[in-house]
Amino acid sequence: MSSEALSARDAIGAATFEEVMAMPAPPPDTLLTSLAIREFEFGELWNRGGITRKERRLVTIACVAETGEAASVDAHVYGALHTGDLSIDEMQEVVLHFAVYSGWPKATRLDAAMTTQWQRVQEERGDATKVPAPAIPSNRLTFGERDARGAVVFDEVMTFPPPEPDIPYSEVGVRGFVFGEMWDRPGLTRKERRFITLACVCAADAATPIQSHVYAALNSGDVSLDEVREVGLHCAVYSGWPKASFFEAVVRAQWARIESEGGPRTERA
């Protein structure tokens, strides 16, 4: 809508809100609901292309769950489940993946939202089915096998060698749980997992993990530079401009690094 007047945004935004959130748009009675939510968030942001609506869901849910704002978490989980953009099995994986990148307490809030909003969606469908048990069982390896598997998956996901298992964080935390179990689960594609990860490291804004995950997303070829930049704008709205500003600076630096290495690993292969 690049040549139109901005005044068209409100009507577009109200319609888009209804489609994405599966509930009526809030009346434009405060500056936040009118200018920020109806006009900008739904009138501009959610109408953009660049990444799929499912991918915007993954980024949004991670950002919103990171804030811990219960009403917003509930609303976005409801929208994702009601529209079918995320299945309940996928949502289970989103909660686990989010736990790793934002911690168990905030994930507990997201897990509760999954349960209550799933029940709401099911009741509206006249179906009383509870949240089904996790579709994919947890790991049944020995600890030694898990460590070896974690090293392999780390290399595949991060596109550089895994850390030595010389401290508890690296051994149990990184090689053991995160790459030996979580990233190895098939319930979400690797590309989908990257969108959750990018949103979480942007929100956490710890310098080194943003660098390594932005690098890995781009260098693996899973996510294009344009897609990462859509994530940056999307995170600005949900996590605030300062976090997005830092994220974008990292994207520029990591892309320069990848170009200096001859482009993404997949293209070189």
155 sits near a second copy (criterion: CB under 8 A): no
Smallest gap, in angstroms, from Cβ of residue 264 to a second copy? 18
Report how far apart the first and last C-alpha atoms of the chain are (Å, whole number): 39
Q: Looking at 12, 21, 86, 114, which residue binds a second copy (CB under 8 A)?
A: 114
Cβ neighbours of 130 (radius 10 Å): 10
Smallest gap, in angstroms, from Cβ of residue 83 to a second copy? 19
In contact, 38 and 28? CB cutoff 8 Å: yes
Smallest gap, in angstroms, from Cβ of residue 245 to a second copy? 5
**Helix axis angle, 190-204 relative to 53-67, nearest 10°?**
30
Residues 250-269 that bind a second copy (CB under 8 A): none
Q: Which stretch binds a second copy (CB under 8 A): 121-129, 148-156, 163-171, 214-222?
A: 163-171
Q: Looking at 119, 204, 221, 257, which residue binds a second copy (CB under 8 A)?
A: 204
Smallest gap, in angstroms, from Cβ of residue 117 to a second copy? 13
Q: Looking at 58, 86, 92, 223, which residue binds a second copy (CB under 8 A)?
A: 92
Distances (CA, A) of 67 to 48, 64, 83, 107, 229: 24, 5, 23, 11, 21
Q: Looking at 126, 140, 262, 269, which residue binds a second copy (CB under 8 A)?
A: 140
In contact, 102 and 200? CB cutoff 8 Å: yes
In contact, 77 and 115? CB cutoff 8 Å: no
Which position has the token pair 């005044």?
Answer: 7
Distances (CA, A) of 248 to 137, 230, 231, 255: 37, 10, 9, 10
Q: Looking at 19, 44, 85, 184, which residue binds a second copy (CB under 8 A)?
A: 44
In contact, 179 and 162? CB cutoff 8 Å: yes
Which position has the token pair 């888009």?
Answer: 16
Give how many residues touch a second copy by CB under 8 A. 98
24 sits near a second copy (criterion: CB under 8 A): no
Q: Which is nearer to a second copy, 48 or 125 (CB)?
A: 48
What is the DSSP secondary-structure string of 79-110? HHHHHTSS-HHHHHHHHHHHHHHH-HHHHHHH
Q: Looking at 33, 119, 122, 224, which residue binds a second copy (CB under 8 A)?
A: 33
Q: Which is nearer to a second copy, 11 or 32 (CB)?
A: 32
170 sits near a second copy (criterion: CB under 8 A): yes
184 sits near a second copy (criterion: CB under 8 A): no
Which residues neighbour 67 within 8 Å (Cβ) at sequence distance 6 or greater? 238, 239
Smallest gap, in angstroms, from Cβ of residue 223 to a second copy? 15
Smallest gap, in angstroms, from Cβ of residue 150 to a second copy? 12
Residues 215-244 that bind a second copy (CB under 8 A): 229-230, 232-233, 236-244
Q: Looking at 100, 158, 217, 223, which residue binds a second copy (CB under 8 A)?
A: 100
Which residues neighbour 254 within 8 Å (Cβ) at sequence distance 6 or greater? 211, 214, 215, 218
